[in-house]
Amino acid sequence: MRLILLIIFSITLIACSMDKKQTGTSEQNAKTFIRKATIEKTIDSLKSKMESPDMLRISKGVKQVAEFWTKEDGNDDDFMNYCVENFINSEEELSLAFETIQKNFEILNGHFNKISLSLKFAQHIDEGDVTPLDIMFGGYEPSSNLQDDLFSNKIAFYILLNFPHYTLEEKNNLGKSWTPKQWAYARIGDIFSSRIPAELMLKFGDLNNRCDNYIANYNIFMGSVIDKDNAVNFPIDMKLISHWNLRDEIKSNYKSENGINKQKIIFEIMKRIINQEIPQNVINNGNLKWEPFENKVYEGDKEIKFTTEPDTRYQYLLDNFKMLSAMDKYSPFYPTYIDRKFNQEMEMPFEEVENIFIELISSEQAKEVGKFIKERLGRDLEPFDIWYDGFKSRSNISDEELTKITSQKYPDNKAFKNDLPNILSKLGFSKDKALYLSEKIEVDASRGAGHAWGAQMKGEKARLRSRIGKSGMDYKGYNIAMHEFGHNVEQTFSLYNVPEYMINGVPNTAFTEAMAFMFQQRDLKVLGIKNSNPDEEYMHSLDVFWSSYEIMGVALVDMYIWKWLYENPNADAGELKNAVLKISKEVWNKYYAPVFGVKDQEILAIYSHMISYPLYLSAYPLGHLIEFQLEQNFKSKNFGEEVERTTTIGRVTPKSWMMSAVNSDLSAKPVIDAVKESINYFKNK
């Protein structure tokens, strides 16, 4: 999973639409300090000064400045004088200003990113204990005062005045003929959408750090978990983080001995976490025995009393809502976090994303694939079969066998780092490109499940993190590392090889997830394990469909929870928990019960992203769809060359990026159509 950097750009410096029809106005917008008459007078003054005035830029620029000008910035005369003195009407001067802004934002972003990365090192990397002081330093957000400073010294107003914002519709239409530099101009026009106080940003940075620490240390010691017969079913030293490792352990047990019993145990653990019935003293503690079916805790052979986790999970989720919704009044054009997430950051409206998900999970193909899985398993489906992993090429090889290979090959992070050029060469990258990329990526042993952290300026390196135990990197850690490596390759190409810094990156996190999925999909190929299965292409279609089917339901639960929070802003943690359980069961009953034959399951609420990465989950299913369309387009082409081509398109809108990459829009239809073909293939086989 790509780590979301909680620096100024991720929350406040995205897009600010001047189209009042989009989402209404907020408290700040309604109290704009500058009078309308002053705005019109300023526009007229600028028009009269210039021989060939740029009417659109003058009008938009003055109005953009007025949206954020406060009493502390000066009176009406100060406002007018500032606009008249600082408006640029020369293409040559505008280009020079662009170069200066671009250069200096790379400096700011890069160094703030480096500071944040360094301060969080103790929490993220598995080297010794984490102290309370480590957590305090990790929670400090070094960029939190940047926005205030840029407004105070008027740099923000200079940008607002001279670089107009374009609406999403304008970008999708006008962008068809834009050069990379024109796109970069537009992205500068996106920079200031809010004026959030530094104090609030600092508090949010601290909260996010505490959420991250809570999740990173939410481990279940599986060697201390017993079943109803008092038997231990897992290795004594197995420690699984929720949800990632718990989910992946379910996936790994479709071919293992006693797999179904292990899966049922993990499923019970997940339900206890979701319902907050898990004993507090078994979280991140292997000194007690825990039987999750009857929810009993033992010290030695003696059963002991315990207290359950006190809705901590939902309190963190609620704290995130309170903090992010407190920013609403400082965001005049996108006055809810839902708006900012979908309309600004993702540049895909909530309803559009929702419709794409519903199209796939309500399709007849879901029932068809469910029947096919049931036949392959030889039993009725269980709710945890949403993580059925039997379509992958590795499905006939046990995790234990794969771990023997990966732990020997990668005893530590240095071994994986040293093998990066070899991995890239096996994936089709030239020797020069393999060395070029490898030199710009570092590998660390992660304390949490793993993540990728990109550089924000040239000269710095991306970081790849995955869990590496004392016995080396197990297969789960290797599989995650390949996923994160895909992120790192995208992060490196899209920083170093795009034409302009202001369009570095990809349109949104779904696109970097797509790249990560493609690398992860090739993990066995890198290990030298060939797949001679003639059904591989059909199986891959089914795998992408089922993975999308699972995570789309999870994402919808996440989306609907945030809608509920905005409708119930005064709810407490207990009420939120009940709402999450209700929403997850409703989504299950509507889209999953018809396939699984069982109702009222809350399993879709297990994902830890809901707690520490608000509204991130939609990126995964969209990433699956993007990955599938890219893979279809990459057929018979060199993988390394195609990855480089698509990751250097730059941060344009999703629609523009897809048209450049595969000449079609993002859609669930290609996957659905491919599954129809796959089901027919297996029926006629």
pLDDT at 12 over 50: no
Look up tokens 């030199």; give the residue: 439
Model confidence band, residue 31 (pLDDT cutoffs 50, 70, 90): low
Rounded to an integer, the average pLDDT of 384-408 is 87
Of the ranges 221-230, 321-330, 529-538, which one carries the lowest mean pLDDT score?
529-538
In the chain, what are the helix, strand and coil shares in percent, each to the nearest 5?
60, 5, 35
When pLDDT is averaged across residues 355-366 and rounded to a whole number, the result is 98
**What structural domains and CATH numbers belong to the chain?**
8-193 (no CATH), 214-274+277-310 (no CATH), 340-391+531-637+646-683 (no CATH), 399-526 (3.40.390)
Output the pLDDT for position 1: 36
What span, in angstroms and rounded, lies between the C-alpha atoms of 402 and 356? 36
Q: In what order do the strands lie in the sheet with 296-299?
A: 289-291, 296-299, 302-304
The reported pLDDT for the residue numbered 50 is 86
pLDDT at position 317, please? 98
User: Which residues fall within 8 angstroms of residue 394, CB to CB, at 6 or more apart?
Assistant: 402, 523, 524, 529
pLDDT of 24 higher than 60: no
Handedness of CA 288, 289, 293, 296 (dihedral sign): negative
Residue 42 has pLDDT above 70, yes or no: yes
Buried b (16+ CB within 10 A) or exposed e, 564-577: bbeeeeebebeebb
The model's pLDDT over 556-589, given as tens digits with 9 standing for 90+, comes to 999 999 999 999 999 999 999 999 999 999 999 9
Reported as a single tens digit per residue, the pLDDT across 606-635 is 999 999 899 999 999 999 999 999 999 999
How many helices (H) and strands (E) in the chain? 34, 8
Q: What amino acid is encoded at 379 in this protein? A: R
pLDDT at 460 over 70: yes
Mean pLDDT of 178-202: 92
Mean pLDDT of 243-255: 93
Whether the link from the prior residue into 451 is cis, omega within 30° of 0, is no
CA angle in degrees (0–180, nearest 5) for 543-548-551: 125
- In this prediction, residue 394 has a pLDDT band, given cuts at 50, 70 and 90, of low
Nearest-angstrom CA–CA distance, 638 and 427: 9
- Residue 392 CA to residue 536 CA, distance in Å, equals 8
Question: How many alpha carbons lie under 13 Å from residue 163 in its C-beta half-sphere?
Answer: 31
* Mean pLDDT of all residues in 326-337: 89
What is residue 442's three-state secondary structure?
strand
Give residue 649's pLDDT band: very low, low, confident or very high (50, 70, 90). Answer: very high
Location of structure tokens 């400090």: 140
Report whether pLDDT(11) > 50: no
**Would you state the pLDDT for residue 209?**
87
Name the region of 195 (left: φ>0; alpha: ψ -120 to 50; beta: rest).
beta
Query: Region 274-301: what's the mean pLDDT?
Result: 97
Amino acid at 672: I
Both tokens assigned to 65: 């400045």
The residue that leads in pLDDT, 25 or 371, is 371
Asked if residues 507 and 657 have their Cβ atoms less than 8 Å apart, the reply is yes
Nearest to 235 by CA among 208, 202, 203, 262: 262
Residue whose entry in the numeric block shows the structure tokens 């653990």: 269
- What is the structure's pLDDT at 395? 56
**Cα–Cα distance measured from residue 142 to residue 146, given in angstroms and rounded to the nearest whole number:** 8
